[in-house]
Amino acid sequence: MKLTWYGHSAFRIEVAGATILIDPFLTGNPSWGKSWEAAAEGVTHVLLTHGHDDHIGDAAAILKKTGAMLVANFEICMYLVGQGVSDKQINPGNIGGTVDCGSFTTTFVTALHSSSVSRPDGSNVYLGNPGGLVLHFAEERTLYHMGDTDIFSDMALINELHEPAIGLVPIGDRFTMGGAVAALACRRFFKFETVVPCHFASFPIIDQTAEQFVAGLEGSGVEVVLPKVGVATDI
């Protein structure tokens, strides 16, 4: 599996039979600082955890350009159809459900957050429940993108049901759990082999480093991968 982090919560996952973008906030992402075209080259699937602008990002433009499959909750799917995405591209689901994505499956799981998109007049459009995404592959380790969330005890059930080996974990505090709490979540509720922190260092009001997260996992046996923005990493 090849993973590229574009800063914030945006990832590209490359496996046999699929090239996946998760939460493709690229244009306007201070960590990335470039357009979306290079990141979206060859993309077959776009997965969204929730509806905030810094997660939907460039999804509409990418989907219209590439013809990729959209995997998201029903409200987000319908919102993006309204933005010109073809209804033939959508593969909607909701919390507890699993959808077939061809070479992998995606299960929608709980996240403690909110989900809406801002209109130009400052009002918000409700976009369903936020979620995390568990990706099961035939020949790769199971990956869990937590989305934006705090710690919650039912993470233990997610581990029991799905046994994810790779965790993409928000650590930036203020809008998600901070690094120390995120490390506790990984220690207490999961048996991750590899974790990748995200949702930090992109905006000044959230934590700028992964130091607390790394310190919290010292001695746990979990591999903490700190990828460089825009650089593909084998995990």
Query: Taking the complete model, does pTM exceed 0.75, yes or no?
Result: yes
Band (pLDDT 50/70/90 cuts) for residue 122 is: confident
Banded model confidence at residue 123, pLDDT cuts 50, 70, 90: very high
Residue with tokens 């933005």: 83
**Mean pLDDT within 166-192:** 98
Q: Enumerate the H helices of 83-202 as residue ranges.
A: 155-162, 179-189
Strand partners, 135: 106, 143
Over residues 14-30, mean pLDDT: 98
Look up the CATH architecture of domain 2-234: 4-Layer Sandwich (3.60)
% the chain with pLDDT above 70: 100
- How large is the average pLDDT for residues 162-177? 98
At residue 135, the 3 state secondary structure works out as: strand
- Give the residue extent of every domain in the chain: 2-234
Q: What is the mean pLDDT of residues 27-51?
A: 97
- Residues 62-89 pLDDT 10s: 999 999 999 999 999 999 999 999 999 9
The neighbour count for residue 227, using CB atoms within 10 Å, is 17
Q: Which residues pair with 92 in a beta bridge?
A: 72
pLDDT (tens digit per residue) in 184-233: 999 999 999 999 999 999 999 999 999 999 999 999 999 999 999 999 99
DSSP 3-72: EEE-STT-EEEEETTEEEEES---TT-TTT-S-STTTTTT--EEE-S---HHHHTTHHHHHHHH-PEEEE
Q: How many helices (H) and strands (E) does the chain have?
A: 6, 16
Interval 4-18 mean pLDDT: 98
Tell me the one-letter amino acid at 33.
G
**Position 119 confidence tier, pLDDT thresholds 50, 70, 90:** confident
Residue 140: what are its φ and ψ, rounded to 5°?
Answer: -130, 165
Query: How far is Cα 201 from Cα 18, in angstroms, rounded to an integer?
Result: 29
pLDDT at res. 226: 97
Residues whose CB falls within 8 Å of the CB of residue 221, separated by 6 or more in sequence, listed in order = none
State the average pLDDT for the chain: 98
Quote the pLDDT of residue 120: 85
- Record the tokens describing residue 206, joined without a space: 């959230």
Give the confidence band of 104 by pLDDT, cuts at 50, 70, 90: very high
What single-letter amino acid sits at 53? D
Q: Which residues contact 23 (CB under 8 A, 6 or more apart)?
A: 8, 9, 10, 11, 47, 48, 49, 55, 56, 57, 145, 147
